[in-house]
């Protein structure tokens, strides 16, 4: 069985408060022994990767560009797709659990693809949809991630 993966989705631009939450989330994902998958760019993605790397975790970026060099500085495994926004289908597909932090239309499409692929979605101040399990804060997100991974047979 592969290591569990948690896909983190959210805005490519964020303020310091959101970046702090995303960084704490990334560190928590690494502490669970899970790999972090994201879109590989800035904002929530970069902050979450920074937290994961800082905690000794591994990060995977599914990039919209055709160049691996376009990844943020905290991506261990950049995956160039050349697909533009169509790569949004691949990010949740490569996570066993999906965590959405705020976000706009791109995040909404990734939530939709997570549902299509049967991935559980946990949300922190994101789109209010029946398929998104809301969390109060980062600590609660990590509790829900741990529970979802255990339900899938991972030792998180």
* Structure confidence by residue, pLDDT tens digits, 65-115: 999 999 999 999 999 999 999 999 999 999 999 999 999 999 999 999 999
Residue 56 burial (C-beta neighbours within 10 Å; 0-12, 13-18, 19+): exposed
* Structure confidence by residue, pLDDT tens digits, 5-23: 999 999 999 999 999 999 9
**Per-residue pLDDT at 1 exceeds 90:** no
**Per-residue pLDDT at 24 exceeds 70:** yes
- Alpha carbons 35 and 37: distance in angstroms, whole number: 7
Rounded to an integer, the average pLDDT of 128-154 is 97
* Structure confidence by residue, pLDDT tens digits, 25-70: 999 999 999 999 999 999 999 999 999 999 999 999 999 999 999 9
């Amino acid at each position: 069985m592969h290591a569990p993966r948690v896909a983190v989705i959210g805005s490519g631009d964020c303020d310091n408060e959101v970046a702090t939450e995303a960084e704490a989330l990334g560190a928590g994902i690494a502490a669970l022994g899970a790999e972090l998958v994201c879109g590989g760019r800035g904002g929530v993605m970069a902050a979450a990767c920074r937290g994961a790397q800082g905690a000794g975790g591994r990060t995977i970026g599914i990039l919209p560009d055709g160049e691996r060099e376009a990844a943020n500085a905290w991506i261990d495994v950049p995956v160039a797709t050349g697909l533009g926004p169509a790569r949004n289908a691949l990010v949740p597909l490569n996570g066993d659990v999906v965590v959405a932090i705020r976000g706009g239309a791109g995040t909404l499409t990734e939530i939709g693809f997570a549902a299509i692929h049967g991935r559980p979605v946990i949300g922190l101040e994101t789109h209010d949809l029946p398929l998104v399990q809301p969390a109060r804060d980062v600590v609660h997100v990590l509790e829900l991630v741990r529970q979802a991974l255990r339900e899938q047979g991972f030792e998180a």
